[in-house]
Amino acid sequence: MSEPILSPDGKMMWDGSDWIPIPVHSSTNVQDSVVMGDINTKIEHSVHNTYTQDTGKMVKSHLYLVAENMANSKFDEADTMFEKAKQIDYHLANKLYKEEFAPIFVDSLWSELSALNVWHYSNLDIELVVDRINRIHKIDMNHIPSLLMSAELFRLRPNSTMNKYTRLNQALKIYNRILSLDPENVDAKKGITAIKSMRRFEGFFILFVVVLVLFFAFTR
């Protein structure tokens, strides 16, 4: 049977999901204060060593479950598991989340996101897609595939909260960011070219309408 995992102060133990008080099985009556102090010191060192050795393993185990839940679109469960990892060791959990586990989380999120058919289902919940993209960018703002998907959403899909001019400006900013990371990115270059062509066409169309209006105004 493995040794229980104790908190740094030696007053709590981990039962697999939460910290609980250490069960009291027996009491020890030691009269000699010197001996008692020596025992306390040994217990403290033992607790500290056990905690230090096992904490990393426990936090990592929880973070692997976070990644697994992300891959299965179970984001509430993933968030709960991350909170439990932080309860074990807050600083270590945050450090591992942002560094060692960041690529694992991004891969899990992108795997789930890229499987969605964003362009062919009009009833697709775009908020879900945006949520996944935002989760990726909180971990890695330089993730080019999700940046590209975000730019394409702004460029190709109308939404009720943003006019076309603003959407295209947002798309241009993201395409330019992608090119700052990958100057030869073909998709970003195509996106910028498409927006410029669209704006030229719209400019010619507006000019044509103005000329037509003036023509009829002066020929009456």
Please determine, for residue 213, whether its predicted confidence score (pLDDT) is greater than 70: yes
Please tell me whether residues 134 and 195 are part of one structural domain: yes
Q: How far apart are CA 108 and CA 106, in angstroms?
A: 5
Domain limits for position 7 = 1-24+33-100
pLDDT value at residue 30: 43
pLDDT value at residue 26: 43
46 or 114, which is more confident?
A: 114
Domain-terminating residue out of 60, 83, 100: 100
**Overall pTM > 0.85:** no
8-12, 108-112, 182-186, range with the lowest pLDDT: 8-12
Q: How confident is the model at residue 122 (pLDDT cuts 50, 70, 90)?
A: low
Please tell me whether residues 96 and 132 are part of one structural domain: no
- Which of the listed ranges 22-36, 112-126, 202-216 does the model predict with the highest average pLDDT? 202-216
Residue 120 lies inside a defined structural domain of this protein: no
pLDDT value at residue 20: 74
193-201, long-range: CB within 8 Å, 24+ apart, which pairs? 194/155, 195/155, 195/168, 195/171, 198/168, 199/168
Residue 14 lies inside a defined structural domain of this protein: yes
Please tell me whether residues 20 and 65 are part of one structural domain: yes
Q: Residue 136: is it exposed, middle or buried by C-beta count within 10 angstroms (0-12/13-18/19+)?
A: buried
Residue 211 token pair: 């000329």
Query: Total domain count for the chain?
Result: 2
Please tell me whether residues 157 and 210 are part of one structural domain: yes
pLDDT value at residue 23: 67
Residue 15 lies inside a defined structural domain of this protein: yes
Residue 112 lies inside a defined structural domain of this protein: no
CATH number at 183 reads 1.25.40
